[in-house]
Chains A and B, each alone.
Chain A
Amino acid sequence: MPKFRKETQVTSVTDTSSSILGKAAQATPAPLASRIRGISDRTMAWLFITPAIVLLLAINIFPLIWAVYLSFTNYRANRPNAPLENVGLSNYSRVLSDPNIWQAMQTTAHFVFWTIFLQTLIGFSLAYLIDRKFRGHAFWTTVILVPMMLSPAVVGNFWRFLYQPQIGLFNYIVSFLTGIPPSSFEMLGSVQLSPWAIIIVDTWMWTPYVMLICLAGLRSIPDYIYEAAEVDRASLWRQFWSITLPMALPFIMLAVLFRGIENFKMFDMVTLLTGGGPGSTTEVASITLKREAFESWRTGRASAFAIILFVAVFGLANIYVKALNKVKQR
């Protein structure tokens, strides 16, 4: 987290006393200094910050508090006039003892683990290759970046077409390369393959993201370190493991953090690709939550699940950031 500047107006000017401006400010008598500030800094600060905070309170925090309240009730959004009962912690205990929800958590974990593993592996390798600075590398980097900017929903929807068993391009290419008949497997219809179908699309979309962050990490390593290693006759293999990888590690970890949070929340791409199916083999946590809240209309219970998810992401992210800061300090 970037450190917030603690110094006030005037001290910051005096701090830069080497500059001409600084000298001018030092020479400025006190009454003028207070006049140029106009209204007090405190009032001014709030004037600037309040609008954004008010909006966040109204659209993010107030609903969140409402959700916490609802999670202790038996409220159902499709029957708003039914009597509201306080059910205590029973929503939470039901959620935590529901095998379907644990199944969804397991599916999410599988999805998050494999997407992060593949994206880090491919993304880092690509970044390493691009860092060889061959001719035209800037152009090809931009080409590779395109998929991550697109709408996951719109693109996920189109992948459904690519995955069609008989007419889809994906099956055709696989059959062209391996000789397996294209209609002999269904990426979206089979219990074994559908978890991999969503992993493939997510990896296709988000590998560039990891690549871009890794590339920044590799470029942050100063040349003189490699020069020193050359002088010491360290092999390329050795240089990779003792210089490149450790120095790029904070960046890789940052990429993993962002991808982890995003994929834990994953909803749009999977909804359009498989809708959680077949059965519930690709039903990630967000889809279960959506079904609880907007199909079964168990609003209270869904709120409890939402709070649990939020606390889980928030808690895990915090622990992870602590670890990341430790790696950075090394």
Chain B
Amino acid sequence: MSSVNSAHSVVEPGAMSKRIAASIVIAYAVITMIPLVWIFMTSFKSPPDSISYPPKIMFQPTLEGYCNLFTTRTRQTSEYIASLGTPTSTCDETTRSRNMVIAGPSNYWPRFKNSLLIAFGSTFLAVSLGTLAAYGFSRFRVPLADDLLFFILSTRMMPPIAVAIPIYLMYRQLGLSDTALGMILLYTAVNVSLAVWLLKGFIDEIPREYEEAAMIDGYTRMQAFFKVVLPQATTGIAATAIFCLIFAWNEYAFAVLLTSGEAQTAPPFIPTIIGEGGQDWPAVAAATTIFLVPILVFTILLRKQLLRGITFGAVRK
């Protein structure tokens, strides 16, 4: 580094090293996005285009994948199809051009709704219970607090299949197998450990003088908690909620073992989407795209809190 270059600060990297760093990082970012871009592109391909060799980068975009994702179809004779009236939608039209007619809606939308219900339900419960417990651990002298907190964390170390065996038996006894309630309770239990750890960190950062001042003014502990602490902890609670939501949204192991129909979520359903002769890749890609978009939005919203969330609050910026 020349002395002129480093005049303002000796640790500022030189322009050349910055340029090299930028090009390597950007190259990595572009390569890492290829599979995701490919998913997105495949969702707009027709089935023959999706399995052509060499893989097609330029293609005629179509909504066939999305049509196939949301419908079930049956093969019919061309005479029968000709006897039908004019197609009522573009989906109708593409389906008929493949000598098929739409028989009804597919299971994707019910599965997607299950995912929404279970993810939001369990997040709400986990964050509520987690906030209370985190406040308790942060502000009161709890006997064996360190042990309890470590015990809460250690429940995350169990392989999901190991937990699933007894849960499976317990739910069978209680009639909770394949119910949304069962899945909500299970995901709540898994997420509560994350919620307690993250929220305790956030609440620790709120000066306790605020509540004490409120209590001197005549608030009870509960009023102080709801009117002083909760508003201060909003950012932390929101970040924690998004982390819980992402976990419940993405979870597969419990979902595939404990649900089979009624309460099945989208992740175990998507791999089972098949067309004629194997997986219907444009439909799978369409399902994947729809499923991933909410998470992309959340990642952008969360980017400042991400580090804290993924390390259980062990690393704070």
Chain A residues within CB distance 8 Å of chain B: 1-6, 8-9, 12-13, 16, 19, 21-22, 24-25, 28, 36-39, 41-42, 44-49, 51-53, 55-56, 58-64, 66-67, 70, 77, 122, 126, 129-130, 132-137, 140-155, 157-159, 161-162, 164, 166-169, 172, 182, 204, 207-209, 212-213, 216, 219, 223, 226-227, 230-231, 251, 254, 258, 261, 264-265, 267-268, 271-272, 285-286, 289-290, 293-294, 299, 302-303, 306-307, 309-310, 313-314, 317
Contact, CB under 8 Å: A227 / B169: no
Contact, CB under 8 Å: A167 / B55: yes
Q: Scan residues 183-209 of chain B and give those whose CB is less than 8 A from a CB of chain A.
A: 185-186, 188-189, 192-193, 196, 200-201, 204, 208-209
Contact, CB under 8 Å: B270 / A157: yes
- Asked if B44 lies at the interface with its beta carbon under 8 angstroms from chain A, I say no
Residue among B249, B256, B257, B291 facing the most chain A CB atoms (10 A cut-off): B256
Contact, CB under 8 Å: A289 / B161: yes
Tell me which of B6-14, B66-74, B76-84, B89-97 binds A: B6-14
Interface of B is mostly: helix
5 A-B pairs with the lowest CB-CB distances in the bound complex, closest first: A48-B136, A63-B166, A306-B162, A153-B252, A45-B140
Contact, CB under 8 Å: B18 / A133: yes
Q: Scan residues 135-171 of chain B and give those whose CB is less than 8 A from a CB of chain A.
A: 135-142, 145-146, 148-152, 154-170
Chain A min CB distance to B67 (Å): 19
Contact, CB under 8 Å: A144 / B29: yes
Chain B residues within CB distance 8 Å of chain A: 6, 9-11, 13, 17-19, 21-22, 24-26, 28-29, 32-36, 38-39, 42, 50-55, 129-130, 132-133, 135-142, 145-146, 148-152, 154-170, 172, 185-186, 188-189, 192-193, 196, 200-201, 204, 208-209, 212-213, 215-216, 218, 220-221, 246, 249-253, 256-257, 266-268, 270-271, 279, 281, 284-285, 288, 291-292, 295-296, 298-300, 303, 306-307, 310-311, 314-315, 317
Known interface pairs A152-B252, A157-B270; A56-B192 also in contact (CB < 8 Å): yes
> Cα distance A140–B23 when bound, in Å?
11
CB-CB under 8 A from A132, the residues of chain B are 13, 17-18, 21-22
Chain B min CB distance to A157 (Å): 4
Contact, CB under 8 Å: A216 / B221: no
Which of B152, B213, B256 is A56 in contact with, Cβ under 8 Å?
Answer: B152
CB-CB under 8 A from B201, the residues of chain A are 2
Chain A min CB distance to B53 (Å): 5
Residue among B158, B208, B218 facing the most chain A CB atoms (10 A cut-off): B158
> Cα distance A209–B310 when bound, in Å?
8
Which single residue of chain B is at the shortest CB-CB distance from A77? B169
CB-CB under 8 A from A157, the residues of chain B are 270-271, 284, 288
A-B contact sample (5 more), CB < 8 A, given A52-B133, A148-B310, A158-B35: A39-B221, A122-B28, A147-B32, A161-B285, A219-B317
